[in-house]
Chains A and B, each alone.
Chain A
Amino acid sequence: MFSHLVLGLRSAGLPASITEYLTLMAAMKAGVAEYSIEDFYYLARATLVKDERHLDKFDRVFAQCFKGLEPPEGVKIEDLPEEWLRKLAEKLLTPEEIEKIQALGGFDAIMNRLKELLAEQKGRHQGGSKWIGTAGTSPFGAYGYNPEGVRIGQDESRHRRAVKVWDRRDYKDLDDTVELGTRGMKLALRRLRRFARQGAATELDLPDTIRSTANNAGSLDLKMVPERHNTVKVLLFLDVGGSMDDHVKLTEELFSAARTEFKHLEYYYFHNFPYEKVWKNNRRRFEETIPTWQVLRTYGPDYKLIIVGDAAMSPYEITMQGGSVEHYNEEAGTVWLDRLSSHYRRSAWLNPTPKQSWGHVRSISMVNDLMEGRMYPLTVNGIDDMTRELSR
């Protein structure tokens, strides 16, 4: 019954499964959401979405799937002046098509054809509801006749409230579109794991127990040891903006793989080259910067430093005082990179651009030299090599 919702969710990249769909059906059958579209929306959300990052995507797909469910009151399709429709028809249909339609049966047919066209157009467009709204030249700018468009500028109606809930898109901030293809990276990063016994002694140490029980002439003497935990600490510096925009997806994958793999993971952002300031929140990057000195003081040399960036910039940004494109840096980039790589015992640079093209960009080879050759391509193999280097 609602399979198109599930299919829509899946094609939008939400991991909704048949089990969850069946659960939704069972819940509907049990009457959890009776006769209320709003309750149905809440129920579908609770059943099909399992992560707040996906809530926004869900809202969008839901709105798309059920756009015709609640026809707006007031303006009906047949209320629209014929003249308007004709104009729209001229815009969307070729003269031959109009002729054909006229031959087929006139106005009703045009209406249907238009509807089809619009639906098709909406489907292909990202955030389709904007199509008619942004088409300012269209005679339907104010009204439109598709349900989404009509709502603009219309008075509050009984039905509108229902649509509003998912049109609000409250969860936009939580959406971070991370692809699931991170398994390879996770496996590569796993090599960095370093186990150590720490904390309370909760595990039975069998060899020691046997030994000390034997020493005790057979009466039991238990020996415990703490459990093994992954103790590796990772500090991630991520280049954002500018030329890195092409590599956003890859970097996100790395980030999401690293986040699930390490318990002690700290990350900071920089632009082009790490100078005296880094930041944690890209939206507030100018308001909330963190002095790099503070990072150096906070995270000791036992952290493993991984810098992710394409290192494509003007050589001045690396070598010169005041060379940064964004601000006046008191000390040259080389000074800061030296500071970072001498503070952290193990550090490496991951570069999302393919290794073959490194030779063509001067700044890349400069950074590679500064890192003493510890620059690796951001591929599964590259990460593998990097972890080998970092865990030596």
Chain B
Amino acid sequence: MAGFKSTEKYIATRDLEVAVNAAVTLQRPLLVKGEPGTGKTVLAHEVAAALGRPLIEWHIKSTTKAQQGLYEYDAVSRLRDGQLGDPRVHDIGNYIVRGKLWDAFEADEQVVVLIDEVDKADIEFPNDLLLELDRMQFFVYETRKTVAARHRPVVIITSNNEKELPDAFLRRCFFHYIRFPDRETMERIVQAHYPDIRKDLAREALNVFFQVRDVPGLKKKPATSELLDWLKLLMVEDMPVDALRTNEKHLVIPPLYGALLKNEQDVHLFERLAFLARRGA
């Protein structure tokens, strides 16, 4: 099987490559954490592409139950069909709705499963999936049937650290924390996404970007995805490099800042700092 490596579009550090390859080889879930916007979800897409496997995405919400990933028994339609005298009602299997994991287990080839933002769900959610992710099989009570994975899928789980995950769950996973990329890696990432960006524009934009990240007290620091959006805007607008250049020490509000600063407190903070800096100068 081909290993996972940095691609043209996705720059992976060596430690991430090792973690992914370990998870793929040993067929255990990989838990990925990191600042929002550092490419946790994109990783699953890239792994699927690198391995040449289809991707099944399961996005978790606060109301998601573990059972929904396996299957759901639609008792209400059965009851309604029963009242209407529909012959389908005699086979309970007609009312079993398959979940994402069932699809993944019964797929004809190995697939990549993304369980996105697992921390959004209830605190017990990961515990309810322990056995299923360990043995890659589960039991359907209604039909008395065991569904076992034909090919153990590659499972990638992302978390934003909103809740702590239970130890028993963690013990079964590989873990990787995506660090915020340093300047060098960031340059490679920019290069990978926009190969034809002007060199001077990229350099100045990165200067501004890291300066913005260094501002103390920002509620949401801009991350990789914000930088890429912003660069795209700069390129579309054909922004002259001079607009970004800051020879003076003090802060200026970057052009098109809406792509970098995502809430009004941060914009206010920035305006205030820029004002103070101007007055100081």
Q: Which residues in A have some Cβ–Cβ distance to B below 8 Å?
A: 15, 17, 19-20, 23, 26-27, 30-33, 38-39, 42-43, 45-47, 49-52, 55, 170-171, 199-200, 202, 219-220, 222, 227, 260, 284, 287-288
Find out whether the CB atom of A42 lies under 8 angstroms from the CB atom of B31: no
**B residues 25-75 touching A (CB-CB < 8 Å):** 25-26, 28, 30-31, 33, 63
Instruction: Determine the chain B residues whose CB is within 8 A of the CB of A43 once the complex forms.
Output: 18-19, 22
Instruction: Determine the chain B residues whose CB is within 8 A of the CB of A227 once the complex forms.
Output: 63
Instruction: Determine the chain A residues whose CB is within 8 A of the CB of B18 once the complex forms.
Output: 32-33, 39, 42-43, 46
> What is the CB-to-nearest-CB distance from A208 to chain B, in angstroms, rounded to a whole number?
15
List 26 contacting pairs A-B, 8 Å CB cutoff, sorted by A. A17-B171, A19-B171, A27-B22, A27-B25, A31-B25, A32-B18, A32-B26, A33-B22, A38-B14, A39-B18, A42-B15, A43-B19, A46-B15, A46-B175, A47-B174, A47-B175, A49-B175, A50-B170, A52-B177, A55-B177, A220-B79, A222-B76, A227-B63, A260-B163, A284-B216, A288-B217
Instruction: Determine the chain A residues whose CB is within 8 A of the CB of B9 once the complex forms.
Output: none
Find out whether the CB atom of A260 lies under 8 angstroms from the CB atom of B176: no
Find out whether the CB atom of B173 lies under 8 angstroms from the CB atom of A42: no
> What is the CB-to-nearest-CB distance from B121 to chain A, in angstroms, rounded to a whole number?
12
Closest to B176 in A: A46
Find out whether the CB atom of B216 lies under 8 angstroms from the CB atom of A30: no
A84 to B48, CA, bound (A): 59
| In the complex, the 5 A-B pairs of residues with the closest C-beta atoms, listed nearest first | A50-B170, A42-B18, A46-B19, A42-B15, A52-B177
> What is the CB-to-nearest-CB distance from A46 to chain B, in angstroms, rounded to a whole number?
4
Closest to A33 in B: B18
Instruction: Determine the chain B residues whose CB is within 8 A of the CB of A200 once the complex forms.
Output: 63
Find out whether the CB atom of B171 lies under 8 angstroms from the CB atom of A32: no
A256 to B158, CA, bound (A): 22
Cβ-neighbour of A42 out of B14, B80, B167, B172 (below 8 A): B14
**B residues 176-199 touching A (CB-CB < 8 Å):** 176-177, 179
Find out whether the CB atom of A50 lies under 8 angstroms from the CB atom of B31: yes
User: Is B127 an interface position by the 8 A CB rule?
Assistant: no
User: Is B143 an interface position by the 8 A CB rule?
Assistant: no
Beyond A219-B83, A287-B216, list 4 extra A-B contacts (CB 8 Å).
A45-B15, A47-B175, A50-B171, A171-B177
Instruction: Determine the chain B residues whose CB is within 8 A of the CB of A33 once the complex forms.
Output: 18, 22
With an 8 Å Cβ cutoff, the count of chain B residues facing the other chain is 33
Question: A32-B22, A42-B19 in contact; A260/B164 too (CB < 8 A)?
Answer: yes
Find out whether the CB atom of A50 lies under 8 angstroms from the CB atom of B28: no
A227 to B170, CA, bound (A): 27
Find out whether the CB atom of B167 lies under 8 angstroms from the CB atom of A52: no
A52 to B167, CA, bound (A): 14
Question: A27-B22, A46-B175 in contact; A220/B217 too (CB < 8 A)?
Answer: no
Find out whether the CB atom of B176 lies under 8 angstroms from the CB atom of A220: no
User: Is B160 an interface position by the 8 A CB rule?
Assistant: no
**B residues 133-176 touching A (CB-CB < 8 Å):** 163-165, 167, 170-176
Instruction: Determine the chain A residues whose CB is within 8 A of the CB of B216 once the complex forms.
Output: 284, 287-288
Contact with A along B211-242 (1 / 0, CB 8 A): 00000110000000000000000000000000
A224 to B48, CA, bound (A): 40
> What is the CB-to-nearest-CB distance from B5 to chain A, in angstroms, rounded to a whole number?
13
> What is the CB-to-nearest-CB distance from A373 to chain B, in angstroms, rounded to a whole number?
35
Instruction: Determine the chain A residues whose CB is within 8 A of the CB of B175 once the complex forms.
Output: 46-47, 49-51
Instruction: Determine the chain A residues whose CB is within 8 A of the CB of B179 once the complex forms.
Output: 170
Question: A23-B26, A27-B25, A39-B18 in contact; A46/B83 too (CB < 8 A)?
Answer: no
Closest to A280 in B: B217
Question: A219-B83, A220-B80 in contact; A39/B14 too (CB < 8 A)?
Answer: yes
Instruction: Determine the chain A residues whose CB is within 8 A of the CB of B14 once the complex forms.
Output: 38-39, 42
Which residue, B28, B33, B177, B179, has most C-beta atoms of chain A within 10 A? B177
Instruction: Determine the chain B residues whose CB is within 8 A of the CB of A47 once the complex forms.
Output: 22, 174-175
> What is the CB-to-nearest-CB distance from B250 to chain A, in angstroms, rounded to a whole number?
17
Instruction: Determine the chain A residues whose CB is within 8 A of the CB of B167 once the complex forms.
Output: 15, 50
Instruction: Determine the chain A residues whose CB is within 8 A of the CB of B28 once the complex forms.
Output: 23
Instruction: Determine the chain B residues whose CB is within 8 A of the CB of A32 once the complex forms.
Output: 18, 21-22, 25-26
Instruction: Determine the chain A residues whose CB is within 8 A of the CB of B177 once the complex forms.
Output: 52, 55, 171
> What is the CB-to-nearest-CB distance from B81 to chain A, in angstroms, rounded to a whole number?
11
Find out whether the CB atom of B79 lies under 8 angstroms from the CB atom of A20: no
Find out whether the CB atom of B170 lies under 8 angstroms from the CB atom of A30: no
Question: A32-B18, A32-B22, A39-B14 in contact; A220/B83 too (CB < 8 A)?
Answer: yes
Closest to A260 in B: B164
A17 to B83, CA, bound (A): 54
Closest to A226 in B: B63
A199 to B62, CA, bound (A): 11
Find out whether the CB atom of B33 lies under 8 angstroms from the CB atom of A26: no
Find out whether the CB atom of A50 lies under 8 angstroms from the CB atom of B173: yes
A219 to B79, CA, bound (A): 10
Instruction: Determine the chain B residues whose CB is within 8 A of the CB of A171 once the complex forms.
Output: 177
A220 to B80, CA, bound (A): 8
Closest to B182 in A: A170
Closest to A48 in B: B175
